[in-house]
Structure 1
Amino acid sequence: MKRLLTFFVIVILFGCGQTEKKSDGQWKTIEVGDYLFDFPSDFELVTEKGIDSYVGKIKGDSIEFGFDFGYYSNDFEQTSQEYLENGFWRNELSYRFMKEGITYDQTNTPKIDVMSIRPATIQDSIIGKGCDYVAKCKHDKTEFDFAIYIPNEIKQTNYSIDTVDNQYRKIVWAKDPQKGTTGIYLRDLNGFNKSINSYLAISVATSKLTSKQQETALKIFKTGRHKSGKK
């Protein structure tokens, strides 16, 4: 019985040592496609077979990132501003003017002009209860207000967007790191491919993090750079 108990104690202690293993404080550079990132020394690159892009994982002792380098990399959720400019809500505008018995396509879909967009007020509940914005729209000679609701996925995400060394950089981090995505999307502004109408880009992302792990992930993302600007 004592031997069995001793065995279990050793297993528990060994398991704890493995799960709590931390980086030695040193960082190293890992190359992913055309990009370089600095990671704590415990991270390693693991490549996988992709169909139309270079994919794989960058695995550390406590965090695992997935990456996709190619022309179809995920640029994550739209920001509120991007949603207002290009969101699905614009497709809904035409529905109210469609008539039964008519098959619609791009040539005869009712045309709606969005004249302005403003933040919603309490009084706008008569237009749409709990809406976030109100668009002033026009169809032929008819003007109307349209309630816009920003998707919860966007509301629950923080964003940082800028351009560094001719690279469009979008960093997203979930307000609740346990439930949402924390990631980076880097797009080479010189890497546009006309034949497929897309940019060469990379996305690196993870999820189900603690607040401390999310801090580490954001530090890693901020080191992301194109090889042409190699430090």
Structure 2
Amino acid sequence: MKIIGAILLLGLSSCISPKPGVWQTMDLGEFTITVPKGSKVQPQESVDSYRAKIIGDGFEFTFEYGAYSPKLTLSPEEYIQLEEWHMDESFGPLFSILKPSPTLESVVKKDDSTYLATYKARECINSDSCSLNIDRDLYRRYFAIKDSTLEYEFRLPKELLQHDFTVSTTDSTFKRVFIPNELDKHDAGVYMINRNSCIEDNEYHCWKQLALFTSGTVKISRSELKEILNSLTLK
């Protein structure tokens, strides 16, 4: 905590004002962020990460930097990329016991919220011990069984469809800014990673990850909130 405290003091003492008298850029050691002048940093206890709050007039952010920072609200594209529908109650328990495991062949968008995932399942279907053959009626409630494939229709979580996302990628960083349509119902925030810190090119297993999100009522304008979130830069 002494190290973190020193970083915070250094950051506050070295603030610059891109908009004199109105805004200040805080240098918080691992990243910088531009916020309305007068904002303060409040360190938080944490075991494996650098965690604190940024408190200003009409807003409060919590941030966490480290290997275990939360991914926060995924964009629809990330939801598909990470195959998050595998966590569905109607999918996970049945699919996980299929041996040999079916392999994902394609994901096709049917409309703004509905997708169809198709899996190659020939090896499992041809196996006498495959759970699919033992209890086919149960599987048919959730999957379409066609020859050697399984089809699973899923919907994106409603929360994902109630946000505006801006995703940007460079050779060294990934950044996702998300702002809900209704600020009183969902958090806004930023998720960033240093791509050079990722293990085996896995962009979701990285040592240097930053999650920053609103914690409490947001009373600043939507444009000001967007400007703050977009200003966040990893060092």
1:209 to 203, 208, 218: 218
- The whole-number CA distance in structure 2 between the counterparts of 1:139 and 1:164 is 37
In structure 2, relative to structure 1, the CA distance for the partners of 1:97 and 1:173 (3 Å cut) is closer
2:104 to 111, 114, 137: 114
2:157 to 135, 151, 159: 151
Aligned to 2:114: 132
Aligned to 2:38: 42
- The whole-number CA distance in structure 2 between the counterparts of 1:134 and 1:180 is 27
Q: Offset at 1:222?
A: 1.6
Contact 1:131–1:147 (CA under 8 A) maintained in structure 2: no
Aligned length: 186
Q: Percent identity?
A: 22
Relative to the length of structure 1, the TM-score reads 0.69
Instruction: Encode CA deviations 1:128-161: one digit per residue, 9 max, x unaligned.
Output: xx97111233311522432111111212222111
- Structure 2 unaligned segments of length 5 or more: list them: 1-18, 123-146
- What letter matches 2:232 in structure 1? G
Instruction: Encode CA deviations 1:27-53: one digit per residue, 9 max, x unaligned.
Output: 111122310111110211111221111
The answer to whether 1:218 aligns with 2:226 is yes
Which is worse superposed, 69-78 or 108-117? 108-117
- The whole-number CA distance in structure 1 between the counterparts of 2:171 and 2:231 is 13
Where 1:171 maps in the other structure, the secondary structure is strand
Aligned to 1:161: 167
Q: How large is the Cα RMSD of the aligned pairs?
A: 2.8
- What letter matches 2:47 in structure 1? I
- What letter matches 1:62 in structure 2? G
In structure 2, relative to structure 1, the CA distance for the partners of 1:144 and 1:189 (3 Å cut) is closer
- The whole-number CA distance in structure 2 between the counterparts of 1:157 and 1:34 is 27
Q: Offset at 1:95?
A: 5.1
Find the structure with the greater CA-based Rg: 1
Contact 1:94–1:110 (CA under 8 A) maintained in structure 2: no
The answer to whether 1:175 aligns with 2:184 is no
1:62 to 58, 62, 74: 58
Contact 2:162–2:180 (CA under 8 A) maintained in structure 1: yes
Q: Offset at 1:187?
A: 1.0
Aligned to 2:206: 198
- What letter matches 1:143 in structure 2? T
- Structure 1 unaligned segments of length 5 or more: list them: 1-22, 99-103, 122-129
- The whole-number CA distance in structure 2 between the counterparts of 1:97 and 1:34 is 41
- The whole-number CA distance in structure 2 between the counterparts of 1:86 and 1:57 is 29
- What letter matches 1:209 in structure 2? V
Relative to the length of structure 2, the TM-score reads 0.68
In structure 2, relative to structure 1, the CA distance for the partners of 1:135 and 1:191 (3 Å cut) is closer
- The whole-number CA distance in structure 1 between the counterparts of 2:92 and 2:59 is 45
Aligned to 2:27: 31
Contact 2:194–2:206 (CA under 8 A) maintained in structure 1: no
- The whole-number CA distance in structure 2 between the counterparts of 1:134 and 1:39 is 42
Contact 2:62–2:212 (CA under 8 A) maintained in structure 1: yes
- The whole-number CA distance in structure 1 between the counterparts of 2:210 and 2:115 is 32
Q: Offset at 1:215?
A: 2.3
- The whole-number CA distance in structure 2 between the counterparts of 1:168 and 1:94 is 29
Which is worse superposed, 162-171 or 149-158? 162-171
